[in-house]
Amino acid sequence: MALRRLLLRYFPPGIILEYVEGGESKTRSIDLLDLRPDTDVTALVEEIQKREPLITASCLEHIIHLVQRLQEKLGEKQNHKFSLFKVLRTHILPLTNVAFNKSGSRFITGSYDRTCKLWDTASGEELHSLEGHRNVVYAIAFNNPYGDKIATGSFDKTCKVWSTETGKCYHTFRGHSAEIVCLSFNPQSTLLATGSMDTTAKLWDLEKGEEVASLNGHSAEIIALSFNTTGDRIITGSFDHTVAVWDVGTGRLLHTLIGHRGEISSAQFNWDCSLIVTGSMDKTCMLWDAVTGTHIATLAGHSKEVLDVCFDYAGQRIATASADGSARVYNAGTKQCIAKLEGHEDEISKVCFNPKGNCILTASSDKTARLWDAATGHCLQVLEGHADEIFSCAFNYRGDTIITGSKDNSCRIWH
């Protein structure tokens, strides 16, 4: 094995080792999820060296320097004020979803008008209109980190895969007997998962363009699904009050997470694939051991349905959004609520951390999106201007651009 080069990953902090083994180029990542501005970097790197044979004495200084750069990035104060950059009248009917590619240079919008549109973030120019579905385009995604493919899931029961560059349709996947409401590419961009109102999820081979597995076991609609970061597991959340954990390679059901007393609204793995968080209409959020499927904790406090949940990039904090108009931040280790985000005048349907994890974005029916300090719950900024409820919002990878999608048929870009 010979080390070829080292790459930095800012969010979550880590170093990617590129090396050659048996004439083949390979990569391995060293996650630094516990890195802090006050960490003793030299001691940390010496610890890593003991476990990692690719790191020799000759590159030790260089690695110390790289980790110090990551540390500086973590220590940067976030006082970025966002201002409205562009309003895009994107569709003739309401939007269903918005999503960025990894760098944030492009984004997509799905709509009730049966199309998905691809946009250039910097210019606000429409690059492609992806047409062909016969009903609402509800679920959309890029195959990040690559960003060369787009998937669209529709109420017409089909899913289509498109070229980002040309707008050409590569595949139309047929097999579901009801609306497709959620989808996701695996991290390797070899598979696409779709979840449907027909109670099943399906895995599709992107190269061959065919179904490779049908995940059967839920007794009601599947409305959320998510791969873990290694791509060997997928979770599906259902209106049957359960979340199922599946083996991607075999399509086998590994665990059923039972405990919620209402429909599941969202479910997600943390970065190192050790935890799963679930949100439910039963007003609670639950934390589970991703390996054993056992229940770890119930995070209570909301007075109405929990509509969205997410981890920060390091998997150390959990944010919840609720129909009660508030969001909360919990420490994944202590399971304690560390901040309450109060100020919205109506339900919050979407919540996400910025890449660094120190800032939270919420989208609400009160026509505003808000930015919050993740540690204190203090409201940093209100993003106003939409004429109807905001149901979707996202950060780009650098955390310096925000996109909001609203029922007013428009999309706003904030810098």
Q: What pLDDT score does 78 carry?
A: 64
Would the pLDDT of 322 be above 70? Answer: yes
96 alpha carbon, distance to own chain's centre? 16
Say how far apart CA 140 and CA 320 lie, in whole Å: 22
Mean pLDDT of the chain: 96
CA distances from 99 to 76, 86, 129, 184 (A): 26, 16, 15, 12
Say how far apart CA 142 and CA 184 lie, in whole Å: 8
Number of other residues whose CB lies within 10 A of the CB of residue 34: 10
Say how far apart CA 186 and CA 192 lie, in whole Å: 6
What lies within 8 Å, CB to CB, of 179 at 6+ separation is 135, 136, 138, 154, 155, 157, 196, 197
Q: What pLDDT score does 211 carry?
A: 98
Share of the chain above pLDDT 70, in %: 100
Q: What pLDDT score does 407 carry?
A: 92
What domains does the chain contain, in order, with CATH numbers?
A: 2-75 (no CATH), 84-414 (2.130.10.10)
- Per-residue confidence band for 114, with pLDDT thresholds at 50, 70 and 90: very high
Is the previous residue joined to 94 through a cis bond, with omega within 30 degrees of 0? no
Say how far apart CA 155 and CA 174 lie, in whole Å: 12
- Give pLDDT tens digits for 37-61: 899 999 999 999 999 999 999 999 9
Q: What pLDDT score does 187 carry?
A: 96
Q: What pLDDT score does 75 carry?
A: 83
- Per-residue confidence band for 80, with pLDDT thresholds at 50, 70 and 90: confident
Task: Report, as an integer, the average pLDDT of 5-21.
Answer: 93
Say how far apart CA 48 and CA 262 lie, in whole Å: 44
Q: What pLDDT score does 76 carry?
A: 80
Task: Using DSSP, state whether 345 is helix, strand or coil.
Answer: coil
Share of the chain above pLDDT 90, in %: 95
Q: What pLDDT score does 252 carry?
A: 98
Say how far apart CA 117 and CA 119 lie, in whole Å: 7
Would the pLDDT of 304 be above 70? Answer: yes
Task: Report, as an integer, the average pLDDT of 310-314.
Answer: 94
Would the pLDDT of 237 be above 80? Answer: yes
**The whole model's pTM is what?**
0.95
Would the pLDDT of 404 be above 90? Answer: yes
Q: Which long-range contacts (CB under 8 A, 24 or more apart) does 10-13 make?
A: 10/70, 10/73, 10/355, 11/313, 11/355, 11/356, 11/357, 11/397, 11/399, 12/271, 12/313, 12/314, 12/315, 12/357, 13/70, 13/73, 13/74, 13/314
Hey, CA dihedral for 369, 339, 329, 75, is it positive or negative?
positive
- Give pLDDT tens digits for 207-229: 999 999 999 999 999 999 999 99
98 alpha carbon, distance to own chain's centre? 12
Would the pLDDT of 23 be above 80? Answer: yes
For the chain, state the CA radius of gyration.
21
Q: What pLDDT score does 31 carry?
A: 94
Say how far apart CA 244 and CA 237 lie, in whole Å: 7
Task: Report, as an integer, the average pLDDT of 91-95.
Answer: 91
